[in-house]
Structure 1
Amino acid sequence: MGFIFYGTSAEPIEIDDRTLAHLKVVIATKLRRNESFTLSWRHPDSAAPGRSTLWLHPSIPLRFTFDEPQTPALSQQWLQELSMSASSSGGILLTEEHMEPVEDEVLSTT
């Protein structure tokens, strides 16, 4: 699990490393352009029910930490979906990754 530390809050936001790696790319791109936006997510089943939203602004300190030292392979489709969401009036709505099915290779012998 990774964490987002935002602003002066000592309480981190826990997000799995793969999701956080994708969010980091999208968030960094928006903030580098001096664009503010929101990030919303539903609380996990292990937490109190509900949802949370952050207002992300370039002037507010932000830090990402990851458990895994290696960056996972990133899904271009998921990055695009998150980027489009970040540019909408509702901001990023964190959803699960839609994994693309891997087709089995058919080997032919002649």
Structure 2
Amino acid sequence: MGTLTYDSKLVVSFDDRVLAHLQAAIWAKLRRGEPFAFTWTESASASGFGRTSVWLSPAIPVAFEYFGGRAPRLNPAWVQAMNRSANSAGGLTIVPEPLEAGREPTG
């Protein structure tokens, strides 16, 4: 589990793989100077809250810290889906990972 730290005040844990894809989508928006909303859900028993939303802007510091030493391999289809979500009126949400083109389902 890695962490996203927002404005040095809010620290949220995400699986490293999810966090890497979030980072790619967030960096894309912030690099262009585009502020946007980010909303996620988590177990109410874990944090006391069920859903959290923040306003991400280039002026507000955000940090990504990973538990694992290696960067997860990015699924371009998932990055694209997260980018579409970030560009929507509702803002960025964690969308289900789509199957990569040319890859067979596992399991």
Q: Residue 19 of structure 1 aligns to a residue in which SS?
A: helix
Bigger-Rg structure (1/2): 1
Q: More deviation in 92-101 or 53-62?
A: 92-101
In structure 2, what is the Cα distance between the partners aligned to 1:76 and 1:44? 28
> Over aligned residues, Cα RMSD in angstroms?
2.0
Q: How many residues align?
A: 103
Find out whether 1:96 has 2:99 as its counterpart: no
In the alignment, the residues of structure 2 paired with residue 60 and residue 21 of structure 1 have an alpha-carbon distance, to the nearest angstrom, of 19
* Structure holding more helix per residue: 2
Deviations 1:65-94 (A, max 9, x none): 000111111111111110001001100111
Aligned pairs for 1:1-110 (under 5 A) are: 1-9=1-9, 11-44=10-43, 46-47=45-46, 48=48, 50-99=50-99, 102=104
* TM-score normalised by length of structure 1: 0.83
Q: Which runs of 4+ in 1 moved over 6 A?
A: none
SS of residue matched to 1:12? strand
Q: 1:28 to 1:103 in 2, by over 3 A?
A: closer
Q: In structure 1, list runs of 5 or more residues that go unmatched.
A: 105-110
What SS is found at the alignment partner of 1:26?
A: helix
Deviations 1:18-43 (A, max 9, x none): 00000111101100100001111111
* Counterpart code for 1:27: I
Identity of aligned residues (%): 38
State the alpha-carbon separation in 2 of the partners of residues 76 and 2 from structure 1.
20
